[in-house]
Structure 1
Amino acid sequence: MQESLEQSDESIGLRKLVLYREVVFTEAGEAVVRPVQRASVAAVIRNPWVGSGPSADLSMEQARIAPVLAQLLTDRLITSVGGADEIEAFGKAAIVGTAGEIEHAGALIHTPYFGNLVREFLQGESIICFADTRAEAGETLIVPLWHKTHAATRSHYQTISARVPDAPRADEIVVIAAASTGPRPHPRIGDRMTDPVVTTETLEVVPS
């Protein structure tokens, strides 16, 4: 974690970083209470496991690469939205190229070497919601987000689209960290903590 950025880039096979950021000011013709920023940062890296086979041990490269990615992505995410304390919701994702296994995507994001550090850097407590897939270059992935400390807060259930036009190449993986500084525009569908109890027995009419 202390090595220079240039050394980190080379060690993980980093080809490019892609930052996407949007600011929502109005919805349905009305201004939101406060503008909300949504952002994602994608790292395109060489897949270290291409050709290794389904019985290969992924743990060594996982422990080496994932912490570097966690810091690389969150540093830029934090900078893009004005600070970790501005972030209210977060998510993670990965797209593996066609020469890799879907497990290769999971090996980088479904691990404490990535998830625990992303959570710490973004000052969160919740489990980080996620998406992963295998695809050709240019595939759009919908990254889900939810509240970073109160996962049951339904107002913060939202998504952001992430896409790198020329990635992943067959032997690459795209790893994504995403965040939002607030809820959906005009949230008003209640909250899991205050919802009434709803079962087939409490409903007067149950769809058949």
Structure 2
Amino acid sequence: MKPRLRTDTPESTASSPEARLDRLVSEAVAVVPGCAAALAVVWRAGAAEILVSSHPDLPLVDAVGTGTADWPVRHAWATGAPVEIADTMRPGPWPNFTRLALAAGVRSMLIVPARTDSGALTLELCGLRPGLFEDGEAHALAWGLVRQASAALRADDEADKERATAANLRNALHTRPVIDQAVGVLMHARGCGAREAFEAMSAASQQANVRLVEIARRLVADPAAIDLPGG
């Protein structure tokens, strides 16, 4: 699956993942010494889902999203450990990747991962000279930025879950009266108890692959319109 790239459409709200990552890469370029470009990726189920770059035309953007399992960024999120490439001209464990990086003018890189509730987040810093990220300051700043961003993403995920729960509750409150009414109709028609009536409606819902509330509405409108199990 090709990752979603940053967009500047109105849908990219301040709290959207794309906007969070956009701020992350912008801050990385602004505050980390030697960082000329930055890429941030949200990973889910082992695949790059969202990719944001401070320089979208950087050739490494497509490489990160479609690269093989031995790409250094994949190693970083899989192990939870940072990866530093001091000089892309030197032999190393990722020759195909460093060849691409060197062709793009990148001479050094630092990749820092962080866990999220549903996957991982990686921040990749690109430098134009070798050895730019060997000092502790670059590592500390990168860690701070990616952890702050991952915490914001986790908070956004929790807020989304809470909104979904609230929507489900509102829907349940809205549909419960008609279901109760249908149970009453069925109890009267069959002379059965509430549990038996509800089970018959649930079975009809599963057999017809129709939502329970729709079965209930049909029953209330015309009790003879639906052939219920056990009838």
TM range (shorter): 0.3 to 0.5
> Which structure shows the higher strand fraction?
1
TM-score by length of 1: 0.34
Higher relative contact order (CA 8 A, sep 6+): 1
Q: Give the number of the structure whose alpha-carbon radius of gyration is greater.
A: 2
